[in-house]
Amino acid sequence: MPILEFACSDCENHFDKLFRGINVEISGVECPSCGSGKVERQVSAFGVSGVWQSNIPDFSVPKMRPPSPNDPFNCIVN
């Protein structure tokens, strides 16, 4: 489901529109500010992020301690 960016030629409002499904038909898009149908699709920027060795958080699992008779769930961790 792509999100496309548009600019209105009448009021110069910039807005995004979510399109459901794979096939995108941009005819009939109206400006939410003034209702004009004179809109132009804009070039969208996108970002990509990756996981670098220095960015990997420590996902160490806490050690379990023996169950306590006072713990009704027997799941307290240190």
57 within domain boundaries: no
Tokens for 22?
């794979």
Domain that holds residue 5: 1-45
What is the number of domains present in the chain? 1
pLDDT at 53: 58
The CATH number assigned to the domain holding 39 equals 2.20.28.10
pTM: 0.52
55 within domain boundaries: no
State the amino acid at position 67 in one-letter form. Answer: P
54 within domain boundaries: no
* Cβ burial, residue 7 (10 Å; 0-12/13-18/19+): middle
For 18-58, write each residue's pLDDT tens digit.
Answer: 887 777 777 889 999 999 999 999 887 766 666 555 566 66
